[in-house]
Amino acid sequence: MSSSTVPSRTAPRLRVGDTLRVALGVLAPTVAQGAIARRPRAMALAERFDLDGQAVRTVQDLHRRHGDGPVQLAIPGRRLALVLGGDDVHQVLGGSPEPFALATREKQGALDQFQPHGVLVSHGREREARRALNETVLDTPHPVHRLAGDLVTTVREEARAVAERAGATGRLDWDGFSAGWRRVVRRVVLGDAAADDEGLQDDLDTLRYRANWSYFLPNSRSRRDRLRRRLAAYVERAEPGSLAGLLAEAAPAQDGGVDPVDQIPQWLFAFDPAGMAAIRALALLTVDREEGDRARAELRDVDLDTPQELRRLRAAVLESVRLWPTTPMILRETTRDTELAGTRLPAGTAVLVYAPFFHRDADDLDVAHRFTPDLWTGEGPVGDARTAWPLVPFSEGPGVCPGQNLVLLSTSTFLATLLEHHDYALEHPRALDPDAVPGVISPFAVRFRTTSR
């Protein structure tokens, strides 16, 4: 839409008091928990005081008072519009990257710490080329990746080791779960040679924690360069059955700014919160006996060594991400004056979709706080309710996560292997109710008693 056809009425500007409520009650807790790398202490406090639940109620109150149109926050030095209407979510995400660019100022400041040439901080032709390479390697449209045979073998090996240790000790916690999961991630992305590469993991983790500060913290170029050299070595090795191997085959020439090696940190980064979603899905399946039984019943009828969609477990992971979004703040930035809900957003406006509000707004979603995997299967009384209201656990539109299917295949296979010969009883959080799921559960504190079958 040209600027001459954009409405002259701008989105209403919140009063200072409401802006402070959003800044302190929505933005600050989300940033404090870690936008790029989760902070365990901050998440423990968020769980204790239900900060995300309070944030949803704050945005819900704004929606009731202002309706569906976007509202502007009175933040000095930055024009920020908060999306309140479901249709606007679809317009913004469907209208990426033009006129709603993914490469916002805040995102560029954060991801420059460890992936300065990644697809999420790209625009125009560079983004098109980088996105195409990501989709080729990640096999984006296919529920079962073309390397699924190797992937499933890797996931099951590591998950069996986690389950066996848990069965022997009678305990499964985040440390044990994540150690196995991270070995899966390194092997799937880089190859078996990376299974024990803790040095690479330490460099990536350090850079991700620095990225939480976005452009407020200088880059650690020496560490970033060292990470890049490590990754380039795995691409040069091009181990068969790994994403690095596919990348070496698919990567075009360096012209055009594609930078194949710099696409890898995003894959490693995205798999990390996937593990958090998986352990929380396991927690929900242990307290909801009916859903847990349905998941186990599906497993009895399949050969888990054969790559396939595990619909019930995929749905459980998707529902975990709906209830606790791993990307709570979806940011876009207008590339020109444009229209949203009949109002004008000037060029350079940051547009925020606060996913927990849309996922947990009981005014528009009857099952907002209930563990409901059937939202993702089309079965049961809720049917395919997500089409009527924006549920965007992996975003949507042209900016949808290109690794969504790969993540769901990996996490569902990991969970299936854990459940294959072991039973779990949730120790923490003790009072998790699948019919009234709290706004925050820290994955770092999830803990199970484990018994072998």
**The pLDDT value given to residue 395:** 96
**The pLDDT value given to residue 345:** 95
In angstroms, the CA 86 to CA 383 distance is 19
The angle, 0 to 180 degrees and rounded to 10, between the axes of the packed helices 264-287 and 198-211 is 90
**The pLDDT value given to residue 9:** 83
**The pLDDT value given to residue 123:** 95
Which residues of the chain are modeled with pLDDT < 50?
1-4, 254, 385-386
Beta strands 171-173 and 447-452 are antiparallel
The angle, 0 to 180 degrees and rounded to 10, between the axes of the packed helices 404-420 and 289-300 is 90
Beta strands 338-340 and 80-82 are unpaired
Could you tell me if 189 and 242 are in contact, meaning their C-beta atoms sit under 8 angstroms apart? yes
**How many CA atoms does the CB half-sphere of 424 hold within 13 Å?**
33
For residue 380, give the amino acid letter: G
**The pLDDT value given to residue 215:** 87
Closest of 55, 54, 53, 60 to residue 438, by C-alpha: 53
In angstroms, the CA 11 to CA 84 distance is 11
In angstroms, the CA 298 to CA 413 distance is 12
Q: Exposed/middle/buried for 320, CB within 10 Å: 0-12, 13-18, 19+?
A: buried
Residue-wise pLDDT for 339-360, tens only, equals 999 999 999 999 999 999 999 9
